[in-house]
Amino acid sequence: MSGTSKTAVLDYGSGNIRSVERALATTGSSVVITSDFEVAVNADGLVVPGVGAFGQCMTGLRAIRGDEIVAERLRRGRPTLGLCVGLQILFQCSTESAGVQGLAIFEEGIERIPASILPHMGWNLVDAAPGSRLFDGVEDERFYFVHSYGRLQQQSNAALPDYLPSWSEHGARFLAALEFGSLSATQFHPEKSGDAGLHLLENWVRSWR
Amino acid sequence: MKVAVRVIPCLDVKDGRVVKGTHFRDLRDAGDPVELASRYGSEGADELTFLDISASEQGRATTLEMVKRCAEQIFIPLTVGGGIRSKEDVDRLLRAGADKVSVNTAAIIRPELIDEIASTFGSQVLVVSVDARRESSQSSGFEVTTHGGRQSAGRDALSWAKEASERGAGEVLLNSMDADGTRDGFDLEMISLFRQELSLPLIASGGAGKIEDFPRAVEAGADAVLAASVFHFGTVSIDAAKRSIAAAGQIVRLPSQD
């Protein structure tokens, strides 16, 4: 593709998205923050950030038809990256917000992490999936996590073709990142993970630019 | 696979300048916050904390501008504290680029502030800062103070930390008022006691003076160690603090080898 690629950061009232914008800008992509349906659907890459509770995020997302935006991008095979709760909402539900339906792209649930100290806060390692493009060159680096819920490995039965899960551990092994066709997501915050995080975002942009 | 101990430099900012004194008095100039933020970001700090100790509205406005400029310098989490009394204050700081906020006196005066912030922005944004000092009449042996350690809040520091946790705090910043600024080391007994009784991450603060103080605080149970003047004045570098924690068998994030 010629010219500068355009990445949109979906704004649905969730947290410090300026830092996501700044981090993406370091990859050379032109970045817009948007809650507009057409802009979000048509951007070359879309980042779906997420902080706070699962239920709150889903409410905010639906208010701007974010559920339809993500579904439409998936259908068209357009690159989409979920961050933190932006990973969790790809699943069916979460014990954090009982009764709230997620995007249900994966038919599994998010659960509270069984650890003696929560939130899981700080820099942790990731067991990158073999063949992962996101972690290429940063397999041994630490990334910044802050969360109390996650997709637990022991409960996981995902055997979808082309599904690449990467795992981390705090009390139990949980999903640190996933790559599934045009869809990627990280439980950690690459925009807060120093040089390693910037490298990962560059990997993501490079995978489709 | 284990989460690394965080080493956090703290900028005490008054009217746009970084200052440091003993027991919040005799303040000395320690530099420009934006320059320091940038330096610590590149030196491998795991997070940065920015405490506004300005007394005036004008000072606070200057600070908001400083937070914006600091946030532009770094790709690590930024916590901002000082003078936060409402959800609106939190919203303003998050929009300026803060990832977390730390509340102290206002939450002691009106504990519901913790519930309000946690339910609006999530627990992960909220650090409850507990300025504690030894007081034998309290059941834990520590009392909580307000106004930068100048006033007793008349309540037990540990029971306050537990209440803050139940109300939705995401972390506790435990600052020893006895040790603060002395450079005689962290209050290890206090760290150990709080670690045993709390189930959220604990940041130890107050008293760091030499490299060996850092691994001791971690062994006592701190999940993160915070210091100001030893870093600002170059007594201990971020890297040296991390390497001494690593040498004691604890896990830290070190720069990659390439």
pLDDT band at A2 (very low <50, low <70, confident <90, very high): very low
Percentage of chain A modeled with pLDDT above 70:
96
The two three-digit tokens of residue B135, written as one number:
């007081």
Contacts of B99 in chain A (CB under 8 A): 16, 19, 192
Nearest by CB to A116, which of B95, B99, B199? Answer: B199
Percentage of chain A modeled with pLDDT above 90:
86
Neighbours of B181 (CB within 10 A): 19
Domain hosting residue B49, numbered range: 6-253
The catalytic residues of A are 84, 189, 191
Nearest Cα to A184, choosing from A145, A134, A140, A135? A134
Report pLDDT for B61: 85
What domains does chain A contain, in order, with CATH numbers?
Answer: 6-206 (3.40.50.880)
- B173 within some domain: yes
Highest mean pLDDT among A158-167, B174-183, B203-212: B203-212
- B207 within some domain: yes
Q: Which residues face B20 on adjacent strands?
A: B28
pLDDT digits (tens, 9 = 90+) for B201-213: 999 999 999 999 9
- B145 within some domain: yes
| Pairing outcome for strands B6-14 and B224-227 | parallel
Q: How many helices (H) and strands (E) does chain A have?
A: 6, 12
CA dihedral for A28, A30, A35, A41, sign (positive or negative): negative
pLDDT digits (tens, 9 = 90+) for A42-80: 999 999 998 788 999 999 999 999 999 999 999 999 999
pLDDT band at A135 (very low <50, low <70, confident <90, very high): very high
Return the minimum-mean-pLDDT range out of A5-9, A111-115, A183-187, B25-29: B25-29
Report pLDDT for A150: 97
Nearest by CB to A122, which of B46, B97, B99? Answer: B46
Question: Region A69-95: what's the mean pLDDT?
Answer: 97
Is pLDDT of B257 > 70?
no
Report pLDDT for B31: 86
Q: Give me chain A's average pLDDT, please.
A: 93
* CATH for B44: 3.20.20.70
Query: pTM for the full model?
Result: 0.95
The two three-digit tokens of residue B105, written as one number:
């006196």
- Return the beta strands (E) in A135-199 as ranges: 143-147, 149-150, 163-170, 172-180, 183-186
Domain count, chain B: 1
pLDDT band at B233 (very low <50, low <70, confident <90, very high): confident
Would an 8 Å CB–CB cutoff place B98 in contact with chain A? yes
